[in-house]
Amino acid sequence: MTISTLGKLRRGQSGMIVSVKTLETRLLEIGFLEGSHVEIVHEAPWGKDPIVVRVRGALIALRRQEADLVEVEIQS
């Protein structure tokens, strides 16, 4: 079991959200809730940033900087 932040994950990796730091309500509202499953499905060209994440049945594009506020337990 490894704890990391969402912004550090590579394409294809997934995990379970452990906690959400600042920007809390903003990230929570868009679906980054503790206990939810997240998966990185796409990385943008040019530096692999921003990323597209699947969470609660939706695809969310966000920059790694913001994704780093989400702490995840890596599953694969």
Partner 1 sequence: MTTIALAGNPNCGKTVLFNMLTGSRQKVGNYPGVTVEKKEGPAKCPSGRTVNILDLPGTCSLNARTPDEEITRKVLLGQQKDVPIPDALIAVVDATNLERNLGLVLELRELGLPMVLAVNMMDLADRRGLELDLKELSRKLGVPVVPSVAVKKKGISEILAKIEELLASEKQCRPAALAEPTAEKVRARFAEVDAILRAATHKRSRPTEWTDRIDRIVLHPVWGTLLLIVVLSLMFQAIFSWANMPQDWIKAGISRLAAAVGQLLGEGPLKSLITNGVIAGVGAVLVFLPQILLLFLFILFLEDSGYMARAAFLMDKLMGKVGLHGRAFIPLLSSHACAIPGIMATRTIENRRDRLTTILVAPLTTCSARLPVYTLLISAFIPNRVLFGPIRLQGIVMFGLYAAGLISALIMAMVFRATLLKGKKPPLLLELPTYKWPSFRSILLGLWERCSLFLHRAGTVILTLSVILWFLVSYPKPPANLPTDPAHPPISYSFAGKIGQTLEPLVRPLGFDWRIAVALIPGFAAREVMISALGTVYAVEGDHSQTNANEEGATEALAYKLAKSWSLATALSLLVWYILACQCLSTLAVTRRETNSWRWPALMLGYMTALAYAGSFLTFHFASWLGWG
What are the residues binding partner 1 (CB under 8 A)?
Answer: 20, 23-31, 33-34, 41-47, 49-50, 52, 56-63, 65-66
Tell the smallest beta-carbon distance from residue 20 to partner 1 (Å). 8
What's the sign of the alpha-carbon dihedral 65, 13, 41, 70? negative
Tell the smallest beta-carbon distance from residue 70 to partner 1 (Å). 12
Tell the smallest beta-carbon distance from residue 9 to partner 1 (Å). 16
Task: Say which DSSP state 15 is in.
Answer: E
